[in-house]
Structure 1
């Protein structure tokens, strides 16, 4: 058991300190190489779709949505209709729906803080610092600065790495030739390793993968994201209810 868990309950009250911010930043450093390659992939894809360097960097800085940015770029088109905009919104909302559950899992930790503080750190909220935060919280940590620091350092590197990715994309005619399109699935595959809870818990993942692959073979476009996510969620909910 960690020393934090051995402290009296009054010392575990929610706090936000600079020490926590620096600790979160240090914890995130190990993820930076993979995230940089991920951002480079986005920058290259943005260049291939005809976005300007400024547009690509602004998307990384303001939208800051990782996989949703890559999905949006894949669906990007020179001319837009309301139907195309609606389709893009539905797909990206489905991809980001996981954030609802991730945020809910941290709600007991975040609830005591002012809305302004939560709004600030939730802007920097990603899968990576959620994973860092949940493991830190499970070990007894309560300093919200860990989430803020991890999120901020990841955001900085994401924005900066978009630039070389964009420049690379302008030089490489086909990014897929160099395996850049594999960055996203590899990154998320490694992210779920610490969440492994045995074979029983893997069933929803397997079902989601099979349904997504079948949908991708049968239906054009990105319907596989929606069907895979919904099928995995339903199987997980059903198994949890029976348990």
Structure 2
């Protein structure tokens, strides 16, 4: 998908950019449907209402940490434990935010901060790929705000509504993971990352992150492997990018 045609002033049309973002979100939405339904169903089986699930999904908007929170949910809930695990799982956003920073420097701070509220694996990968395509075409390598709003609003609305739907019908469907629906999210992420592939040399930090995360998962209980993998990948990227 190419960038929209600029207006006579040289600035891309806002409405067309927004529509382009909506179109870019459609393939991801297909994979998001079963993943959101599974999360909602699991939350419903933990006696969370559709309103509570949609509130969690809308405020957190990070599927991995929401799955972790639902798995740890008890009555009464251990809030400190859930908060700590959520922080660990979402620690990868530190790396994602650092990668996004050069793309949003042209935006006012209030808009940049609002934009980061909907930063997740999918919006990050789509936004990054679009900025790279713009740079390859000779345009500045930066994020198109209307395009990103189109992507993120579609995904956010779908995520919130579908998790609520899953919470409503989940108790009637039983264990959806038995059908393999929980594999939708990893599949979507792998497809998105394939669009950012720039060769084995650029993928070395990914390999380091994967190796450290896998080793930590085998040796240490809990979600520490997420933070360990993120920090290892960030350190490796810094090491190979530093001046020799």
Q: Normalising to structure 2: TM-score of the pair?
A: 0.81
Q: Map Cα deviations across residues 19-58 of structure 1 (whole Å, 9 max, x no partner).
A: 3222211222222101222212221221233322211111
Pairwise CA RMSD? 3.1
Corresponding residue to 1:77 among 74, 78, 83: 74
**Which residue matches 1:169?**
170
Unaligned runs of 5+ in 2: none
- CA displacement at 1:137 relative to structure 2: 3.1
| 1:130 equivalent in structure 2 | 124
The equivalent residue for 1:104 is 101
Give the distance between the partners of 2:16 and 2:119, measured in 1 at CA: 19
- Structure 1 pair 235–152 and aligned structure 2 pair: CA distance change class (3 A): same
CA distance in 2, matches of 1:16, 1:72: 41
Contact 1:57-1:162 within 8 A present in 2 as well: yes
State the alpha-carbon separation in 1 of the partners of residues 214 and 76 from structure 2: 29
Give, in whole Å, the separation in 2 of the partners of 1:217 and 1:87. 20
Match of 2:228 in 1: 227
Distance 1:83 1:59 in 2: 16
How many aligned residue pairs are there?
Answer: 236
Tell me by how many angstroms 1:174 deviates.
3.0
Q: Deviations over 1:68-90 (max 9, x none)?
A: 22232233333345652552353
Q: Secondary structure at the match of 2:57?
A: helix
Where does the alignment leave 5 or more consecutive residues of structure 1 unmatched? none
Q: Matches of 1:3 and 1:157 in 2, distance apart?
A: 24
1:199 is paired with a residue whose SS is coil
SS in 2 for 1:224: helix
| d(CA) in 1 for partners of 2:42, 2:194 | 27
TM-score, normalised via structure 1 length: 0.81
Following superposition, the deviation at residue 222 of structure 1 comes to 1.0
Shift in CA distance, 157/234, structure 1 to aligned 2, threshold 3 Å? same
Partner SS, residue 195 of structure 2: helix
Say if 2:234 is the partner of 1:240.
Answer: no
Using the TM superposition, give the Cα deviation of residue 225 of structure 1 relative to its aligned residue in structure 2, in angstroms: 1.0
Task: Confirm whether residue 35 of structure 1 aligns to residue 9 of structure 2.
Answer: no
